[in-house]
Amino acid sequence: MYNIGRRRDSYEEQVTVFYTNANGAEHFYGSMTWDVLKKQNKELPKKDRNDWVVEIATDDVKSITVILENIMAAGSTAKAKVPLGEIEYCTWQYPGSGN
């Protein structure tokens, strides 16, 4: 997730990630704000400190849910990107195929 941001007294963006496995069980991956990222990524170049790399370490992911929200009362005009990188493992079955 790129450009997670915050402006004092205006907005604070929070990103939350859930995934569902092949059995249909939903799992909470994590939640992130700019305040946490700036501490976690303090060794990175300044332009990369507000980016959150999400790697789900399982091979049975059926779906991913990403929630972008402003956790302050005021509206945010900032933009966040959710680039979906290359899928390295994916299994798909035609609905009703029984396989």
- The model's pLDDT over 3-41, given as tens digits with 9 standing for 90+, comes to 666 666 667 778 888 999 989 999 999 998 878 888 888
pLDDT value at 84 more than 90: no
pTM score, whole prediction: 0.66
Q: In degrees rounded to 5, what are phi and psi of residue 8?
A: -50, 130
Residue pair 41/72 in contact by the 8 Å Cβ criterion? no
Residue at token pair 């946490």: 36
Q: From CA 14, how far away is CA 67, in angstroms rounded?
A: 8
- HSE-CB for 56 with a 13 A CA cutoff: 26
Residue pair 37/49 in contact by the 8 Å Cβ criterion? yes
End-to-end Cα, the chain, rounded Å: 34
pLDDT at 24: 92
pLDDT at 19: 92
